[in-house]
Amino acid sequence: MSLLLLRRVIAPGCLMCWLAAGGLPAQAADDTVTLPDLMQGAQQWAQDNLDTNVVTALSQIDPAAVQQFYRELTARSQGEYVVDLAAVRQTARSLLPWLQSREETRPYAAWLAAQMDYLDVAEEIRQTAPPPPKITNPPPQIILNPPAQKERELWVTKESGRPWPPAAQTYVTELKPIFAARNVPPELVWVAEVESGFDRRAESPAGAAGLFQLMPDTAKRFGLSLWPRDQRYQAIPSAEASADYFRYLYDRFQDWRLVMAAYNAGEGTVQKQLTARKAHNYDGIATHLPAETQMYVPRVEAVLLEREGLKLEQLAPPQAASEK
């Protein structure tokens, strides 16, 4: 069964939790099962979202195991500790070739390929963490998040010397004027390398799509149409919407690192942490943001530094971008 169809019948996030369970998908059987058969406890979601004409064709999937891994992966991605992401690294590496081998799953492969660096850096952090003290009956070890500056250094090393993605030459030339026309720093076109590897077919299991991985609500909020043709998969419209979103976020947070954090984690998440920590910049909240966001912001900055020789803090504010 196509993962494009699966996304429409399973709540956002469930698919990748199933995939993270430690093995590749089983061959679909002739028997069909409905969503309640597959995911016990998801009745309310099904009532709100499920097209009653759609059924899934999956076999050998234990609903209890799916739920267990859903809880585990949700905890890892939404938790504070970056190192926890390392646990799914090997499964993701095994999964990626399988996704790439099938036409209907290649959008998910493009998305997953763009995420693999997060898991690699999480593993590097895990391996370089100081050993726990030798004590009798020690409590479970918690590896604290590295400070924001340390993560920036790790990502600069990770991105150093990396060649351009194959499609970058075309898209960078085409889309920089789109950003500049909206008085947004044109260098932000490189966010597409982090989001999708400049593969406009990329689609995440949560429903983000295109070069800049816009969620449906965000796309519509900034003027894109999702039907009958989804403009998130079109380079120029998606760049226009993303540039407008970056400008909106900068008007709100007045700091490019906070803009990137909000682009990844959501405006509410960033504002909540700023308020709770009485902070005014990214470094003041970095280690308390979701693990993915803690990695996303320094990754964007490392890509900008590698491609353009600029740090996020060196980008012009939107109102002055056209003067650069």
Give the active site residues.
195
SS3 sequence, 174-243?
A: HHHHHHHHCCCCHHHHHHHHHHHCCCCCCECCCCCECCCCECHHHHHHCCCCCCCCCHHHCHHHHHHHHH
Are the beta carbons of 156 and 309 closer than 8 angstroms? no
- What is the chain's length? 324
Are the beta carbons of 290 and 79 closer than 8 angstroms? yes
**Among the listed residues 16, 142, 18, the one whose alpha carbon sits nearest the alpha carbon of residue 84:** 142
What type of residue sits at position 142? I
Please give the full DSSP string across 266-310, using - where no structure is assigned: -HHHHHHHHHHHT--SGGGTGGGS-HHHHHHHHHHHHHHHHHHS-
At a CB cut-off of 8 Å and minimum separation 6, what does 298 contact? 148, 151, 152, 154, 155
Neighbours of 238 (CB within 10 A): 27
